[in-house]
Chains A and B, each alone.
Chain A
């Protein structure tokens, strides 16, 4: 890659008394990329967004945008567009005046300003003649106004704080797609904060998975799905997320499930099992869509069905197996064996193994 990245975050740290919200955070974002900051509540993603916007000072670290350092710049000099979770539209101004606000700050006047307002409203699919006050609009429309307001100033970077969380389920999917399309059209470097992994997987070019103020993995969606770096990532990504079956290493032939039961030669299933010392507590990632439920067969994991959910084209079969609760996702069209006692069979693809205490993925020692 030639040159330095468009957005460079280096060693950013933020503490609140004894609590560290961000531990020496590093991240690079390429120009024009759509990056998601994904993680559960309290992982530090919103804190990082506020620091990027300049609304919160970092205790330590540097931030560079388009080659210049912005760490100490106040928010009104950063040229960064921000879309808030609650939209934060100015209630005393009309829709057009809201969208025009940033342009007024940049001293755009008259026809040029109005033309930009028209352009921004058109880009988010709103009627340019909308003269109502924000309070009179629906939630979805308010959000579009908020986005239009942020892009009207043609910002160097766009920050979105949980843009879809206040929308109902139907609108969410629609707007999700529109956000991606908007990004493709404008090419603005975008950073989106979300706790919804499906949203991140669907829209982002790269996802930064965060937990407790740390970056766990920063890769494109498919890489995160296929090769999660830690048990946490595996158990977070996916709809539903991966099952994590506790196992403890035993002889090469059989490993023990929770409760002491032995299970089929795990080594045959997963090459990474070979080098693991006896007694190590591990977690095996079994993706719901990579498990098959059968009535009979050799070496299957014994399970008992507790509930079945119908989700349109698929069925989610919830079972208890090996002392844990697991979920299997299978096409609704496939017949389910007579329950409640069944057998689970992982598909041919080798399931990943993780160390239970550190969460790190165990790699195969054989090559």
Chain B
């Protein structure tokens, strides 16, 4: 009798944790299909009307577009910078490596609100507030630590003798990069791009403070709507689409990586 009880305890605990983690997402997806005028769970009548509204809503469309564009550009820049930094730190092994790694992590050490306020006052001095370059720069800065951590770990794992072997077989530095270093760094590049994109896309605090009226991102729009009008089912519908899209990307990415192994 005792054995049976403890056998159940572990799976139950795991199920409870998973439920806790996934419940908000499930609530989100299910209630997006609810036809009512307000957000309610469980959904009572099923309809796609909020998805239709989402596609028709110009404000939301624009904010999604801004978020995506910003995320793509910021992550591209952050990953490039992170890769260059990682190359220098891992291959060069300078004495100041530890100091630089700490510096790269610096933006994460402050509460983002505090950091954003300080940034805002700097921007006001140099006239960058409310501009796209200013917003982009801020996004690159908050995503860089994540990208850097991943790229340092990724490049650190690549055996340097592989590059020496490639050279001895006749590969010029470019060919070494193209045929050895890049393919081996690819998983790291993809995951750091994905994380940088997500961090940028999901950011509310920094963007709220830094972006002017012209560059409202989706989370900022949703959040401001929330405070003035309550939970707008359109937001729920968009949120559900984003979740499904992200999951699809992750699943496809996993399969591709598995195939290439």
Contacts and interface: CB of A to CB of B under 8 A. Distances in A.
B183 interface: yes
A58 B60 CA distance: 64
A105 B180 CA distance: 12
Contact of B170 (A53, A86, A91, A105): A105
B159 interface: yes
Interface of B: 159, 161-162, 164-172, 175, 179-180, 183-184
Given A88-B159, A92-B183, A82 B168 contact: yes
Given A105-B170, A153-B169, A84 B164 contact: yes
Contacts of B167: 54-55, 74-76
Contacts of A89: 165
Interface residues of A, number: 27
A149 interface: yes
A105 B172 CA distance: 9
B78 to A, nearest CB: 25
Given A90-B180, A91-B184, A92-B183, A84 B161 contact: yes
A80 interface: yes
Given A86-B159, A149-B169, A105 B175 contact: yes
Contact of B162 (A55, A88, A104, A105): A88
Nearest to A91: B184
A293 B196 CA distance: 77
Interface of A: 53-55, 74-82, 84, 86, 88-92, 101-102, 104-106, 149-150, 153
A86 B159 CA distance: 10
B164 A55 contact: yes
Contacts of B159: 86, 88
8 contacts: A55-B168, A79-B170, A80-B168, A81-B168, A88-B159, A101-B179, A105-B171, A153-B169
A35 to B, nearest CB: 18
A106 B170 contact: yes
Contacts of B170: 76-77, 79, 102, 105-106, 153
A150 B164 CA distance: 13
Contacts of A77: 170
Given A91-B184, A92-B183, A101 B169 contact: yes
A90 B169 CA distance: 12
Nearest to B184: A92
Given A76-B170, A76-B171, A153-B170, A82 B165 contact: yes
Contacts of A74: 167, 172
B180 to A, nearest CB: 6
A75 B183 CA distance: 22
B161 A88 contact: yes
Centre residue among B165, B166, B169 by max chain A CB count within 10 A:
B169
A75 B168 CA distance: 5
A55 B165 CA distance: 10
Contacts of A54: 167-168
